[in-house]
């Protein structure tokens, strides 16, 4: 039978390294540590009840056609609030086009998918609980390449009459517009001139002459793109 190894003496802890579990400071520290590990729900229970507040405001967002935009803000609210998003006064339902986003602990966002010119406008978030409500708003600004949605139609006209050629256009920022005949820019006067509207442009030719026959081109351009279309004018 072997002999048991002698017990080693245990050195006392260095001065200042002992804890007295009955010390009020130690007990308070333990409570704080325990509370910090209870999770988000427990932390929310420590919040003071009251009306919601916006901690970080919404900011304007630039949206390029075909992409998505995200409006985001930070709010403080307890109890949990009811959130509603709207565009130009019309409520937006959570779904494929508009997605409500909630991120811990206090971030609320709206994602607008498959962006287009129709998404241009002012968006508002309304936050409400049993103690009150608050709101904030920002704009989605949309950039759309210049485009001719429908070009002018070729036509035949009698001499001495008036003819118009119209093209339907789009783009944001609003595109620059020009007309040309047989490759040469048209110089406007009181007989030949063109107008530019919000979504169309019209070339007018008064007192049509034989020399007005030819190939007419309309072109549009903004910082995102260019487009053009042609039509033929025959004079009888």
Tens digit of pLDDT at every position of the chain (236 positions): 333 344 455 556 566 556 565 666 655 554 454 444 444 444 444 467 889 999 999 999 999 888 999 999 999 988 889 999 999 999 999 999 999 999 877 999 999 999 988 999 999 999 999 999 999 999 999 999 999 999 999 999 999 999 999 999 999 999 999 999 999 999 999 999 999 999 999 999 999 999 999 999 999 999 999 999 999 999 99
Examine residue 75 and state whether it is found in any structural domain, yes or no: yes
Residue pair 125/81 in contact (Cβ under 8 Å)? The answer is: no
| Together in a domain, 136 and 156 | no
> Do 204 and 155 fall into the same domain?
yes
Question: What pLDDT, on the 0 to 100 scale, is given for residue 104?
Answer: 74
> Can you give the pLDDT at residue 105?
77
Q: Does residue 6 lie within any of the structural domains? A: no
Q: Are residues 101 and 203 in the same domain?
A: no
Same domain, 139 and 164: no
Give the integer Cα–Cα distance in Å for 74 and 54: 6
Please indicate, yes or no, whether residues 137 and 159 belong to a single structural domain of this protein.
no
Tell me how far CA of residue 5 lies from CA of 1, 8, 9, 12, in angstroms.
Answer: 12, 9, 12, 21
Which among 91, 119, 143 is the end of a domain? 143
What pLDDT is stored for residue 21 in this prediction? 58
CATH of residue 167: 2.60.40.10
Separation between Cα atoms, residue 134 and residue 54, nearest integer Å: 7
Residue 130 sits in the same domain as residue 164: no
CA-to-CA distance for 19 and 30, rounded, in angstroms? 12
What is the reported pLDDT for 74? 95
Based on the domain organization, do 37 and 91 belong to the same domain?
yes
Q: Within this chain, do residues 46 and 135 fall inside the same structural domain, yes or no?
A: yes
Let me know whether 222 and 138 are in one domain: no
Q: Is 1 a member of any domain?
A: no
- Name the domain boundary from 143, 170, 204: 143
User: How many domains, in total, are found in the chain?
Assistant: 2
Q: Residues near 67 by Cβ (< 8 Å), separated by ≥ 6?
A: 115
Q: Domain range spanning residue 194?
A: 151-235
Residue-level pLDDT at 62? 93
Which of 83, 118, 143 is the endpoint of a domain?
A: 143
Confidence (pLDDT) at 1: 36
pLDDT at 131: 94
For residue 125, is it within any domain? yes
Which residue is it, tokens 């409570």?
31
Residue 230 lies in a domain: yes
> How many other CB atoms are there within 10 angstroms of residue 209's CB atom?
11
Same domain as 32, residue 123: yes
Instruction: Tell whether 155 and 203 lie within a shared domain.
Output: yes
Q: Are residues 160 and 91 in the same domain?
A: no
Examine residue 10 and state whether it is found in any structural domain, yes or no.
no
In a domain, 37, yes or no: yes
In a domain, 2, yes or no: no
Residue 15: per-residue pLDDT: 61
């Amino acid at each position: 039978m072997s002999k048991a190894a002698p017990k080693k003496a245990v050195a006392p802890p260095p001065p200042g390294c002992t804890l007295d579990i009955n010390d009020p400071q130690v007990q308070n520290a333990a409570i704080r540590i325990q509370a910090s590990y209870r999770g988000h729900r427990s932390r929310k229970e420590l919040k003071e009840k009251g009306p919601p507040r916006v901690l970080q405001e919404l900011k304007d967002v630039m949206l390029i056609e075909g992409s998505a935009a995200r409006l985001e803000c930070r709010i403080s609210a307890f109890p949990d609030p009811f959130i509603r998003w709207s565009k130009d006064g019309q409520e937006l339902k959570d779904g494929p086009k508009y997605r409500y986003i909630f991120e811990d602990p206090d971030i609320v966002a709206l994602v607008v998918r498959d962006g287009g010119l129709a998404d241009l406008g002012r968006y508002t978030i309304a936050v409400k609980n049993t103690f009150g409500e608050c709101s904030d708003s920002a704009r989605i600004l949309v950039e759309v390449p210049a485009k001719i949605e429908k070009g002018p139609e070729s036509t035949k006209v009698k001499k001495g009459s008036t003819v118009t050629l119209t093209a339907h256009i789009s783009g944001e920022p609003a595109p620059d517009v020009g007309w040309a005949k047989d490759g040469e820019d048209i110089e406007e006067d009181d007989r030949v001139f063109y107008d530019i509207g919000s979504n169309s442009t019209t070339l007018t030719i008064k007192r049509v002459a034989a020399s007005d026959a030819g190939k007419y081109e309309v072109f549009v351009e903004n910082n995102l793109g260019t487009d053009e279309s042609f039509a033929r004018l025959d004079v009888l």
